[in-house]
Amino acid sequence: MFQSSSRWVTALVLIFGGFMSFLDQTIVNIAVPVLQRAFQADLQSVQWVITSYMLTQGALIPTMPFLTARLGSKRCYLFSLALFTAGSALCAFAWTLHALILFRVLQGVGGALLMPLSMSILLNTFPLEERGRAMTAFSVPALAAPALGPIIGGYLVTIAPWPVIFLINVPIGILAVILASIFLPGDEMQRATRFDTPGFLTATYGVAAVLYACSEISNTGWASREVPRA
């Protein structure tokens, strides 16, 4: 009974990370006009606040197997969660649009591994007969997060200044780091594997190009030269 309860506490901790990672893909969307006014910037420039986060996430996800083999799943998760939380705090205090985009990249570096790491730890924590329920409990909040992002972001920017859409992650992230350090099971590091640099660069370029093309379609249309070039 204790082991079962401990596993579900682990699942709850993992839900924190997955939910925040997905939430921040869309929570900024509704705040774009507010950011335009705050930084006196045009729409295309402000959209990089959204695009930079998604590009960074998509590009770095393939590094998860190598990093977990070298550092262990728990260490990687704690580092990613702490980096995501720190990036969120820095975003809230960004003094220029360029600084905000830079800090969103930092936030994306942390958020990139939260989802795949959460699923990996979850599958290794639960026995086969309980994995279905565990994945359902994890997936529902994670998949709901992108839909809730614009709602939460829109509400927050109507009652408070724009930094609050990033500051909301900080107390949740700190709590998640504390809980993860206590409840996540430790794991042994595997034998160091060689990092596939050519494969990583190829995958990074491919994923980043596709994501960039998709993000530009709404601005330039399918007929634009930028889309097939990417």
Angle, helices 43-60/2-26, rounded to nearest 10 degrees: 150
Q: Range with the lowest mean pLDDT among 77-86, 107-116, 220-229?
A: 220-229
Superfamily of domain 2-192: MFS general substrate transporter like domains (1.20.1250.20)
Measure the CA–CA gap between 50 and 28, rounded to whole angstroms: 7
Measure the CA–CA gap between 83 and 228, rounded to whole angstroms: 34
Alpha-helical (H) ranges within 27-42 are 32-39
Pick from 197, 164, 150: nearest CA to 22: 150
The encoded tokens of residue 222 equal: 């399918």
With cut-offs at 50, 70 and 90, classify the pLDDT of residue 127. Answer: confident
Task: Give the pLDDT confidence score for residue 195 in this predicted structure.
Answer: 63
Q: Range with the lowest mean pLDDT among 47-56, 123-132, 179-188?
A: 179-188
Task: Give the pLDDT confidence score for residue 2 in this predicted structure.
Answer: 41
Per-domain residue ranges of the chain:
2-192, 196-230
Question: What's the pLDDT tens digit per position in 80-93?
Answer: 999 999 999 999 99
With cut-offs at 50, 70 and 90, classify the pLDDT of residue 44. Answer: confident
Q: What is this structure's pTM?
A: 0.84
Pick from 167, 171, 148: nearest CA to 30: 148
Pick from 76, 74, 84: nearest CA to 23: 84
Task: Please give the residue that has the higher pLDDT: either 117 or 209.
Answer: 117
With cut-offs at 50, 70 and 90, classify the pLDDT of residue 1. Answer: very low
CA distances from 39 to 24, 43, 96, 98 (A): 20, 11, 7, 10
Measure the CA–CA gap between 37 and 62, rounded to whole angstroms: 36
Share of the chain above pLDDT 90, in %: 37
Question: What's the pLDDT tens digit per position in 155-166?
Answer: 999 999 999 999
Q: What is the mean pLDDT of the chain?
A: 83
